[in-house]
Amino acid sequence: MRFIVRRLGFFLVTLWAAVTLNFLIPRLMPGNAVLAMMSRYKGHVNPQAMHALQIAFGIKAHESLLHAYFTYLGNIVRGDFGISLTFFPDTVSHQVLQALPWTLMLVGTTTILAFVLGTFIGLISAWRRGGSLDGLLPPIFVITSAFPYFWLALLAIWLFSIKLGWFPESGGYDVTTTVAWSWDFISDAIYHSILPAMTILITAIGGWILTMRNNTISVLAEDYVRMARAKGLSPWRIMWTYAGRNAILPNLVGFAMSLGFVVSGAILVEFVFNYPGVGWMFLQSVENQDYALMQALFLMITVAVLLAILVADGATAMLDPRTRDRS
Amino acid sequence: MSVPAVADSPSVAPLETPARRPGADLWRAVARNRKAVVGALLLLFFFVLAIFPGQIAPYAPTGEEFGRGLPPSSAHWFGTTAYGQDVLSQLIWGTRQSLAIAFAVGGLATLISVLIGVSAAYFGGFTDGFLSLVTDVILVIPIFPLIIVIAAYERNSGMVTLVVVLGLLGWSYGARQLRSQALSLRNRDFLEAARVRGERGLYVVFFEILPTMTSLIVASFLGAALYAVLFAAGLQFIGLGDPNSQSWGTMLYWAENNEALGAGMAYWAIMPGVCIALLGAAFALLNYAFDEISNPALRRRKLEQKGAESLHTAPVPEVAADPTKILEVRGLSVAYASDAGPVVAVDNVDLDLGRGEFLGIVGESGCGKSTLLYAIARLLGAPLAGEITGGQILFKGRDMVTLGERELRHIRWREYSVVMQSAMNALNPVLTVEAQMRDALEAHSKMSKREMHARAEEVLRLVSIDPVHLHSYPHQLSGGMRQRAMIAMALLFTPDLIIMDEPTSALDVVAQRSLMVQIKELQERLGFAVIFVTHDMSLVSHFSDRLLVMYAAQVAEYGDTRQLFERPLHPYTQGLLEAFPSIRGEKVRLTGIPGAPPDLLRPPSGCRFAPRCPHVHERCMIGPPLYEVDGDLVRCVLYEHEREAALAQ
């Protein structure tokens, strides 16, 4: 219990750090990007948009930095991220909520799938040490894990869409179908998500395979695995409850640590595929200098990663009694 | 101690290996690793391109002098861009920036991670708490989106900004690793020694701590360099870099903007990615190789069959098993694979064990006694690839050496069980005591849940542990309780033989004693035989029926415990006995044995104890056999006359 409380504390500290960075970065940049931007926009956008910017940056005339900071914090706590310039006059929050399900479905599913599959393959590979699987996989995945996601996405589009015509080139769904909870729409969305999903899966899975394999190899050298052999347990039982269950614990920590990397890659994959998710919207906002939207999306991505880490922590606490007892 | 030279005798290998610089070892390990070599060659290739682009590239990278979007030809291997530039030349010129970013960011990030990681570990306390928190926060904040946010405000940022931002955000993973390694070093003897010598903090950090972490520092450099290559290319690709710079990421940006893939200029879009992937792969391969080098368990050594066969000692004669014995070991040899060749850890050992007998095996650490034990239990294997290279292990008439893993599983735990040195390591940390007993019971019997629970409670009571601890996890028990719980586990099926590997060594003297008494009582009550390995001869003196003294993989002396204590024959046994104070005996000076056991990779050619023996003389240059003296066996030429006398009779 105390473990979870401590992790919650860490969650809040990290969230606060991200929010503060968000507030400080535009002000710390050379030439104070915020002021420069405000003067640039003055007269070009209507007062409502101006107000949106003021909310995004917590800026009002003649306010001290500290006061601005607290105004900003207050807005964020209320979920008021201002108004999007790109999708004017829609609010940032509404836009973010529209993009969110797409990313959750695509990136969330593939990340979990990559972790589960990678962990499983890593375990088997280490268990059959020296077998053909183990001889082949590690070198291959050392290399694929170094691939740039976006390049693999380009390659996938070139091969499977342009050359072979198997999958659509871009988008999350066919614009001619109506967005609704209908089978047509869902199957179309799945069809559109196959290429981007495979791209993320192939680049992300290598890391999990390698760490799980190496963890398992270390665990297999432990006395308790030898003890399990001495007890004459079935190889299946030894692999899962003795080797696997202990080897997955550091992998869960690794999951938390490399999640940011996977999400970064996913952003670019969405960009390449014009996939209507958070990552694509994030880069759109950068392109359109829609800073309010950009900042909100950055926070969103951070919160998503932090939530995933909390889930990993919960799983660790469930699987490892020592974590539960540690104060 | 001088051994007179004997003609034609092989020279005695030096006992101590000469001190080598750790750097030389690392270098050799890298050169032997195939992944490292491939990674290094790739990196070298890109280095050459980066240093001499003008000499290698066929054209200038920016000149828009050719046809637009030409397909690949002998003049333009990868075709031309939509602006009429040679793709190959652009690739070659682009190497420079990618490498520069990789090394600059790698260097900066590594510098910060060393500073933060080592100072967190070195200073500890509040500093550590604060620095670790900062490290963890930066670690989980998604860095790439953050970089995009920064780059969005600072458009078309130059290389310097890019390097600084990537460097400032990319150090946390390395810092975390370095901190934990530095923490584990903090209490090592050599640091204590440096502190006692009065060396100053910074000196200790730079000359004592850092050199031992070389491979980890290199690994974190490679990791940061890899991430810099990928992130920089990503930024340039989405148009947040300098669009006029010569780099692979910028090439991809222009290629994407001109829809190169669909417009027949596929190489323009594919090749920069190939280069990024190859450079990334070079860093990843090197990183992985360093991981393997710093964690030897990841490397797999195989015992070379040729070497192993030559180790095979004289064939064991086919002799029928003695029905009065439950265990007969004949001519057993075990070898480990090592980088320098096979190491024979058990050399032609014979022993036997009657029903209900207690056999002690004693010797210094590294003499092969634990290996012998695990060979008998057929538990060799990971982490060290030990293999039985010869001999027989007859357990209740069956030769255990020839049994397959499946057949072994049927007799394991039912007929013989094992108790290990440290229950903390030998019990699965994530399962309760009951779960670990239940899985053994499930594997070998068809008991119901209730019966299994009853049996688990019963064996815990046998070792005087309250059955409430069935629901405890190993870490919740005290050291003594853990050991006893493990013994209880070994009693689940009341086997004929329990093999014990120093089960008391983790305990204090009082707890050791009471555990020994308990083991002996259980043995008398339940009638199982025991093989008990220990380095502490006095511990088994009152409990074992017979003793086997091992030295450098061989049996030095083997006989009745009482006789062996009263009249030790082998100079090594005598030395061992002199190393322990006698409680009842007269006051004598403890002399012990000077020197250390030999390196089993290169054991002395004659008697293995000769270099440390007070009675050494010429005839020790030839390895002695086991001589029988008053029913005991001893490997020492001092007793040669005894055999001659016996033969003469």
Q: Which of B504, B308, B342 is nearest to B423 (CA)?
A: B504
Measured between beta carbons, the chain A residues lying within 8 angstroms of B413 are: 230-232
CB of B570 within 8 A of CB of B636? yes
Query: What's B625-636 look like in SS3?
Result: CCEEECCEEECC
Verify that B506 and B634 share a domain, yes or no. no
| Model pLDDT for residues B10-23, shown as the tens digit of each residue | 333 333 333 334 45
pLDDT of A194 higher than 90:
no
CB of A95 within 8 A of CB of A293? yes
pLDDT along chain B (649 residues), means of 10: 34 34 63 82 87 75 71 73 76 86 91 88 81 85 83 72 84 84 71 68 71 80 87 84 80 82 78 88 84 67 46 54 84 84 87 92 86 90 72 88 87 92 87 93 92 93 91 90 91 93 84 89 92 87 90 90 88 81 58 77 85 84 85 86 68
Beta carbons of B153 and A33 less than 8 Å apart: yes
Measured between beta carbons, the chain B residues lying within 8 angstroms of A281 are: none
Of A204-208, A253-257, A322-326, which has the strongest mean pLDDT?
A204-208
Q: How confident is the model at residue A315 (pLDDT cuts 50, 70, 90)?
A: confident
> Mean pLDDT across the stretch A297-323?
84
CATH no. for residue B127? Answer: 1.10.3720.10
A300 and B CB contact within 8 Å:
no
Beta carbons of A145 and B256 less than 8 Å apart: no
Question: Into how many domains does chain B fold?
Answer: 3
| Model pLDDT for residues A132-186, shown as the tens digit of each residue | 777 788 778 878 888 888 888 888 888 888 888 787 777 767 666 666 677 777 7
Beta carbons of A224 and B35 less than 8 Å apart: no
With respect to residue B549, please indicate whether it lies within any of the assigned structural domains: no
The alpha-carbon gap from A4 to the nearest alpha carbon of chain B, in Å, equals: 16
> Mean pLDDT across the stretch A122-137?
82
With respect to residue B408, please indicate whether it lies within any of the assigned structural domains: yes
With respect to residue B305, please indicate whether it lies within any of the assigned structural domains: no
Verify that B526 and B573 share a domain, yes or no. no
What is the b/e burial string over B117-138, where b = at least 16 CB atoms within 10 angstroms of the residue's CB? bbbbbbeeeeebeebbebbbbb
Measured between beta carbons, the chain B residues lying within 8 angstroms of A322 are: 429-430, 473, 475
Measured between beta carbons, the chain A residues lying within 8 angstroms of B238 are: 268, 271, 283, 286
> What's the pTM?
0.81
Q: What does the pLDDT read at residue B308?
A: 43
Burial bucket for residue B399 (CB in 10 Å: 0-12, 13-18, 19+)? middle
Beta carbons of A25 and B425 less than 8 Å apart: no
Q: What does the pLDDT read at residue B19?
A: 38
Q: From residue A77, how far is each of A15, A73, B595, B608 by CA, in Å?
A: 12, 6, 71, 77
Verify that B457 and B489 share a domain, yes or no. yes
Interface list for A 32-91 with B (CB within 8 A): 33
| Model pLDDT for residues A34-91, shown as the tens digit of each residue | 566 666 666 666 666 666 666 666 555 556 777 778 878 888 887 777 777 667 667 7
Q: What does the pLDDT read at residue B575?
A: 85
Q: What does the pLDDT read at residue B313?
A: 47
Q: Is the bond into B10 cis (omega within 30 degrees of 0)?
A: no
With respect to residue B556, please indicate whether it lies within any of the assigned structural domains: no
Nearest to B377 among A26, A214, A230 (CB): A230
Domain edge (last residue) among B544, B575, B597: B544
CA distance B455 to B36: 54
Interface list for A 135-154 with B (CB within 8 A): 138-139, 142-143, 145-152, 154
Verify that B191 and B222 share a domain, yes or no. yes
The alpha-carbon gap from A181 to the nearest alpha carbon of chain B, in Å, equals: 31
A306 and B CB contact within 8 Å:
yes
* Paired sense of beta strands B358-362 and B546-551, if any: parallel
Which residue in chain B has the smallest CA separation from A220? Answer: B382
The alpha-carbon gap from B276 to the nearest alpha carbon of chain A, in Å, equals: 7
With respect to residue B313, please indicate whether it lies within any of the assigned structural domains: no
Half-sphere exposure of A57 (CA within 13 A, CB side): 25
Strands (DSSP E) along B401-444, which ranges? 416-419
CB of B224 within 8 A of CB of B110? yes
Q: Which of B119, B551, B515 is nearest to B365 (CA)?
A: B551
With respect to residue B606, please indicate whether it lies within any of the assigned structural domains: yes
Tokens of B376: 């008998």
Nearest to A148 among B139, B276, B410 (CB): B276
With respect to residue B160, please indicate whether it lies within any of the assigned structural domains: yes
Measured between beta carbons, the chain B residues lying within 8 angstroms of A13 are: 133, 137
Q: What does the pLDDT read at residue A233?
A: 92
CATH no. for residue B396? Answer: 3.40.50.300
Verify that B144 and B181 share a domain, yes or no. yes
Cα torsion B191, B195, B200, B201: sign: positive
Nearest to B284 among A142, A158, A305 (CB): A142
Nearest to B133 among A13, A33, A157 (CB): A13
Verify that B450 and B578 share a domain, yes or no. no
Verify that B208 and B84 share a domain, yes or no. yes
CB of B151 within 8 A of CB of B157? yes
Beta carbons of B288 and A21 less than 8 Å apart: no
A130 and B CB contact within 8 Å:
yes
Of the residues A12, A57, A150, A299, the best mutation for testing chain B's interface (the one with the most B CB atoms within 10 Å of its CB) is: A150
Verify that B228 and B356 share a domain, yes or no. no
Beta carbons of B154 and A29 less than 8 Å apart: yes
Beta carbons of B420 and A223 less than 8 Å apart: yes
Residues 6+ apart with CB under 8 A from B183: B121
The alpha-carbon gap from A188 to the nearest alpha carbon of chain B, in Å, equals: 23
Of the residues A35, A264, A271, the best mutation for testing chain B's interface (the one with the most B CB atoms within 10 Å of its CB) is: A264
Which residue in chain B has the smallest CA separation from A25? Answer: B150
Verify that B496 and B578 share a domain, yes or no. no
Q: What does the pLDDT read at residue B372?
A: 92
| Model pLDDT for residues B275-312, shown as the tens digit of each residue | 888 888 888 888 888 777 766 666 655 554 444 444 44
Verify that B397 and B467 share a domain, yes or no. yes
Beta carbons of B428 and A155 less than 8 Å apart: no
CA distance B620 to A312: 64
With respect to residue B312, please indicate whether it lies within any of the assigned structural domains: no
Q: Whole-number mean pLDDT of chain A?
A: 80
Which residue in chain A has the smallest CA separation from B230? Answer: A148
Rg (CA), chain A: 23
Nearest to A26 among B153, B291, B475 (CB): B153
Percentage of the residues of chain A whose pLDDT score is greater than 90: 7
CB of B171 within 8 A of CB of A327? no
A257 and B CB contact within 8 Å:
yes
Which residue in chain A has the smallest CA separation from B150? Answer: A25
Interface list for A 200-219 with B (CB within 8 A): 210, 214, 217-218
CB of A71 within 8 A of CB of A19? no
Beta carbons of A294 and B152 less than 8 Å apart: yes
Nearest to A221 among B262, B382, B489 (CB): B382
Q: From residue B144, how far is each of A282, B106, B150, B220, B515 by CA, in Å?
A: 12, 16, 10, 18, 58
Verify that B532 and B571 share a domain, yes or no. no
The alpha-carbon gap from A237 to the nearest alpha carbon of chain B, in Å, equals: 9
A-B contacts at Cβ under 8 angstroms: 246
Beta carbons of B430 and A261 less than 8 Å apart: no
The alpha-carbon gap from A54 to the nearest alpha carbon of chain B, in Å, equals: 16
Q: What does the pLDDT read at residue B417?
A: 93
Verify that B478 and B348 share a domain, yes or no. yes
**Residue B457: which domain range?**
325-544
Which residue in chain B has the smallest CA separation from A296? Answer: B149
